[in-house]
Structure formats: C-alpha cells, structure tokens
C-alpha cells in the first residue's frame, strides 16, 4: 500500500509545470498549476529548480510514524521513480514566452486570439503547450529584464506583444530563440531584413499603424468639421512617435488643420496632457497607436468624455469602451495570426522562412451613443462605411 494512502495529496512544482501526486502515489502532470488551482489545500511544494522545499506539519499529521526527514527522502526518491511516460509528457510540452509591454486584463481578448491561433496548429494551452506570461504593465523599462528571463528559461518561442518596446527588448535579448511579433514597420525597426524574407530569428504580423494615422485624422475631421485645432496624444517612448508626428503634420496641412501634439508615457501624464489640450483650445483629439494607451483605454475614454473632446482611436476596443470612433486593423485577428506562426515554429518551421503577415482589412467603428452625448451628427457617408455602429 502506498505511503500516501489516506493522506494529503503532494504536489511537486517547478515554475509553471508541476507533478501532482494522488493519494495512491500516481503522478499527474499539470501545467500552470498551484495547489489552490488543483483544489489541494494540504499540500507539499517541492521546487527542485529553486531548491525550495516546504512541508507543512498538517501533511504528516500528529503521531504519524513517517517523520519529516523520511518524508523528504521519500519525495526525493519518487522523483527518480516517476513513470517514464509522465517525464516524457513534461519534456514534450514546449513553452512559449508571452512578453508584453501592457497589462493582463485589458489584453484578455488578444490573449484569447493568440490561443485560438495556436489551436489552429494543434496546440492547446495547458495541454500540449505551456504559455509563460511576462507583463511590463506599461513600464517599458522592465522589458529588457523580462525578455532576458524568458531567454534564460529556454522557452521555445518568444511572442513579443505590445508594439516596438517588447519586440526590441526580445531582439536585444537573443539572436537564436525564435521571436514572433506584432508591430508596424518591422524593417525600419531592424526586426526583419524584408517582409517576404525576414531572415534572422524574427517574423510575425505587420501593422499599418503609422500609415493609418493620416486616415484617422481625415475621419475625425469629417465627424468634427468645425474643430480646426486638433490635439494629438503620443507616447514619446514609442520608437514610431516621430514618424507618426511627421505623417500627421503633412496630413493636417492638406486639410488646413492646426495640430497640438502632447506627450504622455505615464498614468499621471495622461491627465496633464488633457489639461494642456484644453488650454490650447483643441476642438478634437487623435490618440496615436501605442500599447500604453491601449492598456489605459478606459482612462483615456473617460478623460475625453470629461473634457467633451471628440476623439478617434486605433482599435475597436476603444469605441466599445465608449470612445467616439476607432479606425485600424482588427488587432484580435493579428494576435490569432501570431498564434498560428508560433504554432508553425513549434512544429519546426523557421522564422527566417515565414513572410511577415500583412493585414488587408481595416475596421471603422462608431459609437452613436457617444456621438449623441457630444452633440455630433454622424455623416451618412461614415455611417454607411462603418463596419460596426454601436448604439
């Protein structure tokens, strides 16, 4: 009879993969697990990677013949005696490092898209692949250390999410680990040699964020034709910011508009930026594409409403959160495509041979409720052209 019979279950865990011992000493491999997620309240945690061993007294029980030292020796010996199939299962499951400049909650829909893409290639998270998440939560200076940590963990693929800061951090951390990215102008950023033949260890999904900004300005001008002073919110830490500003100045000149560019790279600076725009008598606002802004979209939409500023954003999620209008690529689908590429790389394909995917569909989303609150009548041409109208 097993020494565990009738006693608490035992969990051996290392990072995101653990082995859960049932009462009959049968090991079960579980990924991304903790005792609480397994429903195990009285458990023993052994992390051989970190040399941490903690055995609560409740596991052994008062008066039990097996004492702590013998128990530790038993757990150690079982590590050698695990069935080969269990150990094979552990080694066979590849690990993807998910590196993002943003925060988890606002990106839930995007993560779901990435998992959907993986599933298209036969990989299901927590079954035959594990995903290790590292979130910088808008603090771009954390990304180099997070990227280095993923490389140190020897992940099979790094997915660099959240724009140029994540991709550049991953690129600086490794020249061998495959990298899948989602970003605008990967050639200019040095991520790939060309879109059709990336070369190196990186490939992914290219976005047209920079080129789209001029179109966003045109749409905003249609919605608010009397606003001749337009505020532009940019993140100075985004490598594309200068290019975006140049493109917008050219477009504004053609439309006869005056731009007021304000910077924000922290939560506190968002409020300051809106105060500045009010002082400059901006009549409308264009929020440039940036993962930090996407991460703080609820705050941005609330500030625009507070100051009664008609505003246009990059992604549908802004309009869904109450923003007036959005225009850009379907970002959730870009994450799905990135998941497909990650799966193909896990199957043996090389990033150098996978052309950068270029989106072909852009979506215009208008929030009619917000338009009414701002006293804006949406032109019929825009209403007809919209891919989605939120009532």
Positive or negative: CA dihedral 79, 85, 90, 91 = positive
H/E stretch holding 237: none
Tell me the two tokens of residue 272.
């300051």
DSSP code of 46? E
Q: How far apart are CA 203 and CA 217, in angstroms?
A: 30
H/E stretch holding 219: helix 209-223
Average pLDDT for runs of 10 along the chain of length 391: 37 38 38 39 34 36 45 46 45 90 93 98 96 95 97 98 94 98 91 96 89 94 97 93 93 97 95 96 96 93 97 96 96 95 98 93 95 97 95 89
Residue 348 · residue 327 · CB < 8 Å: no
CATH code: domain 209-328+362-390 is 3.40.50.2300
Q: How far apart are CA 298 and CA 319, in angstroms?
A: 10
Q: How far apart are CA 237 and CA 349, in angstroms?
A: 33
Positive or negative: CA dihedral 319, 245, 290, 385 = positive
At the second CATH level, the architecture of 94-208+332-353 is 3-Layer(aba) Sandwich (3.40)
Residues with Cβ within 8 Å of 253's Cβ and at least 6 positions away in sequence, in order, are none
Q: How far apart are CA 316 and CA 388, in angstroms?
A: 9
Identical fold at 94-208+332-353 and 209-328+362-390?
A: yes
Tell me the two tokens of residue 326.
């959005």
**pLDDT (0 to 100) of residue 208:** 76
**pLDDT (0 to 100) of residue 91:** 53
Residue 351 · residue 201 · CB < 8 Å: yes
Beta strands in 264-387 (DSSP E): 284-287, 311-313, 325-329, 362-367
Tell me the two tokens of residue 335.
């994450």
**pLDDT (0 to 100) of residue 361:** 84
| Domain boundaries along the sequence of the chain | 10-90, 94-208+332-353, 209-328+362-390
Q: How far apart are CA 231 and CA 229, in angstroms?
A: 7
**pLDDT (0 to 100) of residue 114:** 98
């Amino acid at each position: 009879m097993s020494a565990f019979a009738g006693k608490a279950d035992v969990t051996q865990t290392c990072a995101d993969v653990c082995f859960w011992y049932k009462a009959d000493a049968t090991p079960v491999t579980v990924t991304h697990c903790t005792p609480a997620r397994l429903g195990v309240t009285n458990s023993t945690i052994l992390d051989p990677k970190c040399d941490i061993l903690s055995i609560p007294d409740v596991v052994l029980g008062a008066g039990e013949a097996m004492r702590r030292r013998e128990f530790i020796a038993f757990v150690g010996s079982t590590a050698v005696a695990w069935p080969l199939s269990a150990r094979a299962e552990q080694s066979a499951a590849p690990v993807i490092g998910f590196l993002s400049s943003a925060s988890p909650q606002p990106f839930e829909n995007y993560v779901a898209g990435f998992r959907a893409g993986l599933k298209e290639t036969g990989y299901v998270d927590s079954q035959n692949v594990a995903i290790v998440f590292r979130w910088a939560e808008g603090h771009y200076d954390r990304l180099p250390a997070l990227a280095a940590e993923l490389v140190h963990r020897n992940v099979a693929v790094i997915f660099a999410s959240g724009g140029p800061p994540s991709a550049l951090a991953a690129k600086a951390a490794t020249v061998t680990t495959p990298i899948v990215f989602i970003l605008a102008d990967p050639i200019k950023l040095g991520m790939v040699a060309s879109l059709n033949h990336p070369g190196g260890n990186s490939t992914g999904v290219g976005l047209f964020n920079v080129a789209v900004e001029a179109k966003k300005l045109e749409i905003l001008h249609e919605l608010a034709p009397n606003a001749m002073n337009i505020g532009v919110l940019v993140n100075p830490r985004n490598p594309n910011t200068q290019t975006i500003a140049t493109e917008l100045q050219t477009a504004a000149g053609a439309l006869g508009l005056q731009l007021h560019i304000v910077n924000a790279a922290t939560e506190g600076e968002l409020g300051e930026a809106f105060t500045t725009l009010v002082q400059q008598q901006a009549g409308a606002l264009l929020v440039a594409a940036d993962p930090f802004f996407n991460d703080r979209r609820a705050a941005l939409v609330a500030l625009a409403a507070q100051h009664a500023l008609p505003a246009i954003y990059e992604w549908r999620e802004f309009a869904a959160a109450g923003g007036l209008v959005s225009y850009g690529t379907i970002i959730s689908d870009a994450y799905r495509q990135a998941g497909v590429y990650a799966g193909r790389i896990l199957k043996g394909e090389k990033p150098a041979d996978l052309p950068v995917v270029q989106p072909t569909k852009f979506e215009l989303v208008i929030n009619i409720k917000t338009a009414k609150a701002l006293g804006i009548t949406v032109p019929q041409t825009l209403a007809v052209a919209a891919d989605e109208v939120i009532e």
